Structure 1
Amino acid sequence: MAISGGPGRDRPEPSGEPELPDVDELAISGKEPPSARVPLSRGRILSAALAFIDEEGIGALTMRRLGARLGVEAMSLYRYVPGREDLLDGVVDALVIELDGDLDVLRTPEHGWQDFLQRMAHGVRRMAIAHPRAFPLIASTPPEAPWLRPPLRSIRWVETFLAGLLAEGFDDEQAVAVYRAFTSFLLGNLLLEVSQRGAALGPLDLVEEEEPANGLSDAPTIERLSALLADDNSLQEFEESLESLIDRITIQIVAGSGA
């Protein structure tokens, strides 16, 4: 049966399928056809932002570029993220969620506080290595408690950490001292490691500079040792530093208890 309006019009027959929402409600992934459109949401935006940072770095992320990746205008994103600052905070939340999903990281010290710290440290490192360009974001302090120290940026994880130590017999002062030493250890080691994997740690790192024309000609010792200096022993160094930290904590706890 002809559609009302007469022949000669290029009007499609109704398919019986529901109409798609407006473009500002949709995100088109890559080059998928319109039928693959899915609703735009804060979760999709944050996932796309994290993937963008993983590929191109924090400095390259703008609302316009992120909108282009999702197939929408930048203004459509503001319905879910008020601005770039909120967007980056959301990316940190996405990183913390990955730590939540690490089954090797324990919520309570089931096998002693040493094992508890080791598991948490390696969990944070796995997150950092999985997202080296995004990890510097987690090095900031949480706005709701700026006196807390990164990279345990989640209040929930700081609570887990401190409550775990107290459950193991640490007093308040000892638990806070260990928290400070542990976070300083993690932040220093992991920021150094992710910087070697392409992370930008400051405004000067956002611009790639060409190697000086003279190279290492004025540094013969560095040139001779370059192969050794280039060896990646990050994991071994991390484990050795972590063991040393735990040994120091053990000695301090024993000394403090008068045993």
Structure 2
Amino acid sequence: MSPVENPVPLLAGGTKQRLSRDLVLSAALALVDAEGLDALTMRRLGQELGRDPMSLYRYAENRAALLDGVSELVFNELAIVPDDPDWQVQLRRIAHDLRRLALRHPNVVPLLVTRPLSTPLGLRPLGTLRPLEQILALLIDAGFAPADALHVYRAYYGYLYGHILNELQEFVVDPDEHEALLRLGLHRLPAKDFPRLRALAPVLADYDGMAELDEGITILLSGLASRLSLPSCPTGS
């Protein structure tokens, strides 16, 4: 069991800091970072904070509210600059910022990806909806029709989440092995059936998450820019 670092900040004189929503959620995030989502319960969080678990219900009515609050806390670290008109530069920067957040809080990623699916859009925590609102505004101001801006957002985040999940799951059989086929275990695949995959072993073994994300974002943004430059086509054409 990994210790949670500094879950209860102390004031001068060694007294405990007064409970607040921010303190409770920060401790919840620290617990998830250290031990995973399953460790986050009211009882365990109370232990980390040195408080009666019942006192936490003032700041989160149940575990579901805690999970929503942790999601908001992480999303609040994602900076979107509404006054920057360069939508391509912004989307590229946001993508890299989200990747850094995911690498900093890998245990929270499944929550960010799957938690919204359990809640209707209008009932989700406001902090989790702000990136959607801000990116829609950015794209609409850039010239996308509102419906197209929503399609772009969905494609963009679909790609980002897919990339992040793939990167966090990257695994090699033997990291000390220099031969790419052996390092990835691809030598076990029948050469006749998987010639292209085996041939890509050096590229697969030299995986660079940041470069891979940037390459994918370049492809995505190039396609979106082309779409923006085209006149609207009549339905059915």
Q: Secondary structure at the match of 1:116?
A: helix
Q: Which amino acid aligns with 1:162?
A: L
Q: Deviations over 1:71-120 (max 9, x none)?
A: 12322222221111111111011112211xx4xx422333x221121122
- Deviation track 1:212-251 (CA, whole Å, cap 9, x = no partner) reads xxxx9xx661599988655441111100000000111122
CA apart distance, 1:187: 1.5
Q: Indicate whether 1:137 and 2:116 are aligned.
A: no
CA–CA separation in structure 1 for the residues paired with 2:230 and 2:123: 28
In the alignment of these two chains, the number of paired residues is: 204
- Counterparts of 2:123 and 2:221 in 1: how far apart (Å)? 24
Q: Give 1:177 deviation, angstroms.
A: 2.0
Which one of the candidate residues 175, 184, 187 is aligned to 1:221? 187
Residue number in structure 1 paired with 2:135: 161
Structure 1 or 2: more helix by fraction? 2
In structure 2, the CA distance between the partners of 1:69 and 1:231, relative to structure 1 (3 Å rule), is farther
- Asked if 1:55 is matched to 2:31, the reply is no
Aligned-partner SS, 1:248: helix
Structure 1 residues 178 and 60: CA distance shift in structure 2, 3 A = same
Distance 1:175 1:192, change over 3 A: same
Unaligned runs of 5+ in 1: 1-26, 198-215
CA contact (8 A) 1:108 1:116 kept: no
For the structure 1 residues 28 and 244, does the alpha-carbon distance in structure 2 shift closer, same or farther, using more than 3 Å as the test?
Answer: closer
Which residue is equivalent to 1:248? 223
CA gap of 1:52–1:90, structure 2 versus 1, over 3 A, is same
Alignment CA distance shift 1:86-1:196 (3 Å): farther
Q: What does 1:85-234 align with in structure 2 at a 5 Å threshold? A: 85-99=64-78, 102=79, 105-110=80-85, 112-139=86-113, 140-141=115-116, 143=119, 145=121, 154-196=128-170, 221-222=187-188, 229-234=204-209
1:106·1:119 contact (CA, 8 Å) conserved in 2?
A: no
Give structure 2 stretches of 5+ with no counterpart.
Answer: 1-5, 172-181, 190-197
1:81 is aligned to 2:42 = no
Contact 2:8 2:27 in 1 (8 A): no
What is the CA RMSD across the aligned residues, in angstroms?
3.4
What percent of counterpart residues are identical? 37
Alignment-mate amino acid for residue 187 of structure 2: T
Alpha-carbon displacement from aligned partner over 1:6-35 (angstroms, at most 9, x marks no partner): xxxxxxxxxxxxxxxxxxxxx983899983
> Hey, what does 1:239 align to over in structure 2?
214
Whether the 8 Å CA contact 1:165–1:175 is kept in 2: the answer is: yes
Matches of 1:147 and 1:252, distance apart in 2: 32
Higher-Rg structure is: 1
Shift of residue 256 of structure 1? 3.8
- Matched-pair contact (CA < 8 Å) for 2:9–2:17: no
Q: Deviations over 1:156-208 (max 9, x none)?
A: 221111111111111223212211211111111112223449xxxxxxxxxxx
Q: Quick one: distance in 2 between partners of 1:240 and 1:40? A: 44
TM-score, length-scaled by structure 1: 0.67
